[in-house]
Amino acid sequence: MRKLLPTLIGAAIGLCSVTSANALSITVNGAGVYNTSVSGASTLDFTGAPACGGYSSCSTGDFAIVSGSDTGQYAAPAMPNQEDGGEFLTVPNASNSGEATFNFGTTANYFGMFWGSIDDYNTIKFFLSGGQVAIINGLDLNANNPNPVVNVDGQQSTLNDNRYVEFFFGNDLIDSVKLISTSNAFETDNHAFAKVPEPGTLALLGLGLAGLGAARRRQKA
């Protein structure tokens, strides 16, 4: 039994390392999901938020915390409590194009947000210590979204253009996001970030532990 235990543990760890590829996974939730489901995530809903929307720090003034809709400037995301006074983040601020960077103040491998009136001129970039980790355009959501339809044509009120989107980075870490819009506007709400285990790693570790249990039962028999 003393020889068997290290062998099984080593196999489980080996399997985990093989599947821990640094890859971005995107989840586009179905209609009616407005918040993260990740336990313990840091969240920002922007209503009554302090400077930088509650982020640790931010750069550029090309964003605003607003409520309701202003024709030609921004539109409230299609979610509860927006048109009646809830606040959200919009980029740019007034002009036709702009960008803004928001710093977490920590590292994470998960980021989620409600993406309002998804458009092809909306872009989000992820960074770690100033180096770009990933870049996602509104059109990329269709490639990662086999079930619920995402129209990506900027409709303000249809659920097919307003979805809660989640980004899982696995072993990669991020510490800031940059929101970019080349037209009016990139509207988002209910941001969330966290450091979460890799689902594949947890599953394989579970298989390794199950193997240990089976080996113990055989040894006793």
Count how many domains the chain has. 1
Is 210 inside a domain boundary?
Answer: no
Is 93 inside a domain boundary?
Answer: yes
Q: What is the pLDDT of residue 202?
A: 42
Q: Are 66 and 94 in contact (CB under 8 A)?
A: no
Is 208 inside a domain boundary?
Answer: no
Q: What is the pLDDT of residue 204?
A: 44
Is 71 inside a domain boundary?
Answer: yes
Provide the 8-state DSSP code for 135: E
| Residue entry with tokens 């992820």 | 126
Is 162 inside a domain boundary?
Answer: yes
- Helix, strand, coil tally for the chain in percent (to 5): 20, 35, 45
Please, what is the angle between helix 199-220 and helix 4-19, to 10°?
160
pTM of the model: 0.79
pLDDT under 50 in the chain at which residues?
1-21, 201-210, 212
Is 3 inside a domain boundary?
Answer: no
Q: What is the pLDDT of residue 65?
A: 96
Burial class (CB in 10 A: 0-12, 13-18, 19+), 217: exposed
Cβ neighbours, 10 Å, residue 21: 11
Residue 78 sits in which domain range?
A: 25-197
The radius of gyration computed from the CA coordinates of the chain, to the nearest angstrom, equals 21
Q: What is the pLDDT of residue 123?
A: 98
> Per residue, what are the HEC states of 143-182?
HCCCCCCCCCCCCCCCHHHCEEEEEECCCCCEEEEEEEEC
Q: What is the pLDDT of residue 140?
A: 87
Is 35 inside a domain boundary?
Answer: yes
Q: Give the model confidence (pLDDT) of 141-179 as tens digits.
A: 876 555 557 877 778 788 778 999 999 999 999 999 999
Q: What is the pLDDT of residue 154?
A: 75
Q: Which of 4, 179, 201 is nearest to 88 (CA)?
A: 179
Q: What is the pLDDT of residue 153?
A: 73
Is 78 inside a domain boundary?
Answer: yes
Q: What is the CATH number of the domain that holds 37?
A: 2.60.120
The answer for residues whose C-beta is within 8 angstroms of residue 75's C-beta and 6 or more apart is 69, 116, 117, 156, 185, 187
